[in-house]
Amino acid sequence: MNPRKNRLDTGLEAHPSSSLPEQLSAMRALSAGVAHEIRNPLAVIQSLVEHLAKKTEDETQKKIAEAVVSEVGRLNEVVTEFLEFTSTPPLHFEKTVVKTLIDRALAFAIHPEKHRDIIVKTHIPDDMPEVELDPAAFHQVLLNTLLNAIQAMKGSGTLEIHTSISDHHFIVQIKDTGPGIPPENQEEIFLPFVTTKRGGAGLGLAISHQIITRHGGTIFFKNSEGKGVALFIDVPRKQNRKK
């Protein structure tokens, strides 16, 4: 499969990710400042509410306290995403078995009961050679993109994962049967803080874009409104230096 060629051959609209370095640099700086300013007060609020919950015997107050703690936990997750986006730890490349990475990401993303109506199809050649990746960082990319695809299908549909390899490139395609990406979001889907999900920070794809760029690769999607999205991750098979 050659996704570059297929952009011309299919009726699907292909959207490459744009780096927009100046915008992203400013957003990272803003995110870092906001994240650090928010995290400490959140910890204080959570501690105080948990203490009050233990002291009261009123069931209504206990439920309110539990709801507050739950929301604080959600905000902490958003802050963690901010910090992940703003940090760029060095990548450590090593020869990696692709199937193992994909199977592990699927195990994290798919819940047997919650997602029992989602059909998962994987197409990974048995003779797929090892690829030089940072396994932890690439796992995060796979997990982010799989979760996006699963959430888009809202409980039922088909999730397909295809891999292919050439002399110089390794490609993963993740395809869902969700509603597709709304036209107003298509040009900025890889920018931070862009999300259509309640409670999300809109950083999953921005972080994925950052990681794939540091691998010397590209990430882009083909949208078919009403029929789903195919997302492509294209990285070099071999890395020449640490990034």
Of 2-6, 112-116, 219-223, the one with minimum mean pLDDT is 2-6
* Three-state secondary structure call for residue 217: coil
Per the model's pLDDT, the better-predicted residue between 14 and 230 turns out to be 230
pLDDT of residue 207: 84
H helices of the chain, where? 3-9, 21-55, 59-86, 98-109, 135-153, 204-214
pLDDT score at 130: 93
What is the rounded CA–CA span in Å between residue 225 and residue 73?
A: 34
pLDDT digits (tens, 9 = 90+) for 147-201: 989 988 988 999 999 999 988 999 999 999 998 877 777 777 777 666 655 555 5
Q: What is the pLDDT of residue 241?
A: 56
Distance in angstroms (rounded) separating the CA atoms of residues 96 and 102: 11
Which residues are CB-neighbours of 175 under 8 A, at least 6 positions away? 149, 159, 160, 161, 162, 228, 229, 230, 231
pLDDT on residue 236: 95
Backbone angles phi, psi at 116, to 5 degrees: -65, -20
* pLDDT tens per residue, range 131-143: 999 999 999 999 9
Query: What is residue 113's predicted lDDT score, i.e. its pLDDT?
Result: 84
What stretch of H or E contains 165? strand 157-165
Whether the CB-CB separation of 86 and 206 falls below 8 Å is answered with no
| Report field, pTM of the whole predicted structure over 0.75 | no
